[in-house]
Structure formats: C-alpha cells, structure tokens
Structure 1
C-alpha cells in the first residue's frame, strides 16, 4: 500500500501565506473603514464645544483640525457597509 497524494491536494506554503495575508489585509481595511465611519458620525458632537472654546478647543486651528479629521473620516468610512448575514435573516 502506497499513499499517494494528488498535486491538487497539496498547497504550497507561499499560497497559504498569500491567502492568509490577503484575508488579514481585507479584515484590517474593513476595520479601519468601520472605525472611520463611526467616527464620522460621532465627530459632529465635538463641534459645539469647539464653537464655544471649551474642552481644549482654543483657537481656530483646533477647529480647522477637527473639521479636517472629520472630512478624512467621511472619505475613508464612505465605503463601509455592514456584512450581510444571511443566516440572521432566515431566523424568525
């Protein structure tokens, strides 16, 4: 009895590493987009203290920095979408 494995059942370590790297990169990008999306929703709450100069928002530069960070979060988080979970939609 000899055990033979077909070439299709053996995956090269490079392919495994490449697919793992791609999966990690995809998850990381999704996480950054989700964080930016939610930050873009929450950041407008900081406009009121910035308008009155409280909580460390003193001067026009800090207000401009807040607006710049908010716009960056809007751009980065623009393509965020919640993963569609078909299993949850089938439950009554």
Structure 2
C-alpha cells in the first residue's frame, strides 16, 4: 500500500470561466441557428392562415427575431 497522496492540480478560475463561457456561447449559437431555421415556417403558416394580418406587430417581431437569430447563429455548424 502506498502512502503517496494523490496529486491534484489547482483549479485555474480563468480557465474555468473561459470553458464555461465557451460552452454557453456554443449553446446560444446552436439555439439561434435552429430558431432561424425553423421560424420562417411559423411565419409562413401565419401568413397562409391570416393570423399575420390580425397581429402585424407579432409578424414584425418574428421577422426581427429571425434576422437576429440568423446573425447570432451563422457560425454554428451542426455536427453530423
């Protein structure tokens, strides 16, 4: 039996924060990418059913959200 203590490396808080921020950014990019991909379908449904004419502000908001999501999610590459 060995009396040697297991070696533990000190936790670098800057590295931990960097990894956490990177993973959060990846999640935000992925969510924005898929929202930008799917939201136009909902907009088309709203246009076909006439809901868009009843709520033009909601249509404008959906189009603005789609534009923002396209910009934020453009760097996301879905893994196969």
Please classify the TM superposition score into its range, dividing by the shorter chain length.
0.7 to 0.9
Which one scores higher on RCO, CA 8 angstroms, separation ≥ 6?
2
Alignment coverage as a number of residue pairs:
72
Q: Does 1:46 align with 2:42?
A: yes
Q: Is the 8 A contact 1:34 1:80 kept in 2?
A: yes
- 1:81 counterpart SS class: coil
Q: Is the 8 A contact 1:35 1:77 kept in 2?
A: yes
Q: Does 1:70 align with 2:71?
A: no
Structure 2: state its 5+ residue gaps.
1-8
TM-score scaled by length of structure 2: 0.75
Match of 1:90 in 2: none
1:47: how far off?
A: 1.2
- When the two chains are superposed, the root-mean-square deviation of aligned CA atoms in Å is 2.3
Structure 1 runs (4+) greater than 6 angstroms displaced: none
Q: Which has the larger radius of gyration?
A: 1
- 2:70 counterpart SS class: helix
1:60: how far off?
A: 1.5
CA distance in 2, matches of 1:70, 1:76: 10
